[in-house]
Structure 1
Amino acid sequence: MPRKPLFLLAFLVLLAGCHQNTSSTPSKPASAPNTFTIRGQVVSIDATHVTLDGEQVPGFMEAMTMDYKLVDPSVVSELHPGDRITAKILADKQGDNYANVRLEDIVVIAQARPDYKPPIAYHVPTTGDLVPDFKLLNQSDRTIHLNQFKGKVVLMTFIYTRCQLADFCPRMSHNFADIDKALAADPALYKQTHLISVSFDPAYDTPKVLRSYGGAYTGNYTNEKFLHWDFAAPPEKELSAMTQFFNVGVTPGDSKSLTHSLSTVLIGKDGKIIDWYPTNEWKPEDVLAAIKKSAA
């Protein structure tokens, strides 16, 4: 019987909640579970559970090994001890504690026993990797190429303008705005650096939309000249290649939203990756220090 592969994507968790009716009605709607994203290594599995050596989950728990109930037990056929996975944690809040903790949307990101070839191969950005010369259409309706920035230190992140989750795309754009202002205070360093915010929603994020979005984050609005920070999107035919190289998983969400992972990368003057930040935990001051070190 053919096996259904688990796609190699890193999924963003969409947090949902529901308003509870405090009136004296016969029944109250149940609150939606709290959701978190976890990464870790499979220790063991049985018919309904997986034991996972999990990394820290901010806001939920420290790094630890524990058993999780599987929302869909059929996925055990795709898991092996030693596999590295990402997954969504669902947990019901009961007072100050969580109960009924379970896993769903399990994604194998590295197999201990390779036994199938996934339909999509996502590259994990690694220090020293040469970045391909991807082309993008920027906010000024001009085509730019990544290779044109060789000789400069480039900080690049992935966003889409309709993202409403404050800790994801807006957080990345606010962080970039802080870094852009800090770099502008040092004219010599400013000339040696460039920022790029790449949209993975080219159908909606046209040059006009990107110009408005970018001007709002720089604070210069319609007066922004975009000399140091580009907002751009790859053409549809190159979108998959670019998101796969930078390990950006994107799937349709609800209400025209997109479910996606995060990816921010620091690229050296030689066009090779210096560092990769796959979460929202990085701090502008730390990345700024890495930029200064790379530009020296």
Structure 2
Amino acid sequence: MDRDAPAPSLPDVRASSEHVGGATVLRCMMAPMRSSLRLQLAFFCSIAGFASIGNPLRSEAPSPAESHEAAERVFTVNGIVRQPARDGRIIIAHQDIPGYMPAMTMPFNVADTPDVTELKPGDRVRFQLHVTDDASRADHFERLGRAAEPRPSSALPKPGKRLKAGDTVPGFQLADEEGRPLDGAAYLKGHFTVVSFLFTRCPVPEFCPLTARKLRDVQSALQGDPRVRDRSQILVITIDPEFDTPTVLKAYGESVGADPHFWKFATGNPEQVKTLMGEFGLYAERNNGLLDHTLATAVVGSDGRLLEVWRGNGWKADEVADFVRFRAAPMAEKTGE
């Protein structure tokens, strides 16, 4: 059974969203880099930047000595409206935001105010972007004029063959964050596995960082239950295997608090990753440099069969943890573990 839930609805990296079948499709354009070293340096700089701007995955409250700027950063952003405001979001192709992210096309959270609702595709705008550890919002929009021509939205790809509850997850071959081979069938066997997908270059709090925060909470909940901690695990598969090498994934895992004995990250051949995404019902297609994709998190049983899928990013950590407990704990009791 699938639980379709709307997602709370990076070089040049571009991300946008579009509603398809009840899910929010995130579309990310990643311009080519000249060397793998430059890519990894850029990533590690972003990891180092967490220390200066506040780790989005931290749980402790900021100390009184921390400034207001550390709690909420405000950026002035220039861009072009690509899609008008709908359901509290507007899609804008923005210029570089120094100190935060390169140019992209992405959705921004907005209020239903006249300065937003009157904007049309092709309008050039300047606005304020507020970013905290948990959320982002855009306001104070100023219309500057019209762009020469709005970029039309391309058609979205169709997902590949989707697994249903009870189907056996086909075998796959990936590499973990240490660069070691990861045989899918062997890894899944004997454990209840929370499987999710993200990519490390996504800095927007409501997207992949939110998935990582939730997975950290799932990890804490399951490791804290002696009935299931040895029968459960987490596997995150990158949707950007060209950039997310094992070295990059290892650094990312450390930054989000993943226990490598419990929570693994995996990358691999782009075609293999694309196939896996299709099997779990995610969109995975590159169109003119755009990486079109959706989000999903699933639980695979100890027999390798798909048990449940949560579409988008609206699932709650305790919901997933309780789902695993309900199935793994009775098995542990039967075997005397």
TM-score (norm 1): 0.61
Residue 34 (structure 1) shift: 4.5
Could you tell me which amino acid in structure 1 is paired with residue 304 of structure 2?
A: G
Native 8 Å contact 1:13 1:35 kept in 2: no
Given that 2:85 and 2:117 are in contact with CA atoms closer than 8 Å, whether structure 1 keeps it comes out as no
* SS across alignment from 2:205: coil
Counterpart of 1:218 in 2: which secondary structure? Answer: coil
Which aligned segments of 4 or more residues in structure 1 are displaced greater than 3 angstroms? 7-10, 17-20, 29-36, 91-94, 96-109, 250-254, 256-259
Distance 2:229 2:175 in 1: 23
| Residue in structure 1 matched with residue 163 of structure 2 by the alignment | 125
CA 1:181–1:257 in structure 2 vs 1: closer, same or farther (change >3 Å)?
A: farther
Residues in 2 aligned to 1:34 and 1:195: alpha-carbon distance in whole angstroms: 38
Q: Which residue of 2 aligns with 1:115?
A: none
Q: Please give the alpha-carbon distance, in whole angstroms, between the structure 2 residues aligned to 1:238 and 1:30.
A: 36
Counterparts of residues 124-273 of structure 1 (less than 5 Å): 124-148=162-186, 149-218=188-257, 226-251=260-285, 258-273=291-306
Q: Check conservation: 2:241, 2:267, Cα contact below 8 A.
A: yes
The structural deviation recorded for 1:153 is 0.5
CA deviation map 1:32-85 (0-9, x unaligned)? 64556xxxxxxxxxxxxxxxxxxxx5x47xxxxxxxxxxxxxxxxxxxxxxxxx
Percent identical pairs in the alignment equals 23
Cα deviation code 1:176-195 (max 9, x no counterpart)? 11110111111331101010
1:173 maps to a residue whose letter is: A
Q: Deviations over 1:95-115 (max 9, x none)?
A: 288468999555486xxxxxx
Post-superposition offset of 1:165? 2.5
- 2:85 and 2:116 in contact (8 A); partners too: no
Residues 98-113 of structure 1: pairs in structure 2 closer than 5 A = 98=117, 105=154, 107=156
Query: Which of the residues 267, 277, 290 maps onto 2:310?
Result: 277
Q: CA deviation at 1:268?
A: 0.9
Q: Which residue in 2 is equivalent to 1:3?
A: none
Indicate conservation of the 8 Å contact 1:92/1:100, yes or no: no
Read off the aligned partner of 1:230 and give its amino acid letter. K
What's the offset of the Cα at 1:250? 3.4
Q: How large is the Cα RMSD of the aligned pairs?
A: 3.7
**What SS does the corresponding residue of 2:25 show, helix, strand or coil?**
coil
CA distance in 2, matches of 1:128, 1:35: 40
Could you list the runs of 5+ residues in structure 2 that have no partner in the other structure?
1-19, 29-74, 90-106, 122-151, 331-337
In 2, Cα distance between equivalents of 1:92 and 1:180: 34
Aligned length: 213
Given the superposition, is the C-alpha separation of residues 291 and 10 from structure 1 closer, same or farther in structure 2, using an over 3 Å criterion?
Answer: same
In structure 2, the residue matched to 1:12 is 26
Distance 1:251-1:280 versus aligned 2 partners, 3 A rule: same
Unaligned runs of 5+ in 1: 1-6, 21-28, 37-56, 61-87, 110-120
**Residue 146 of structure 1: how far off its partner (Å):** 2.0
1:279 alignment partner AA:
G
The normalised TM-score by structure 2 is 0.54
Deviation at 1:260, TM superposition (A): 2.2
- 1:227 CA drift (Å): 0.8
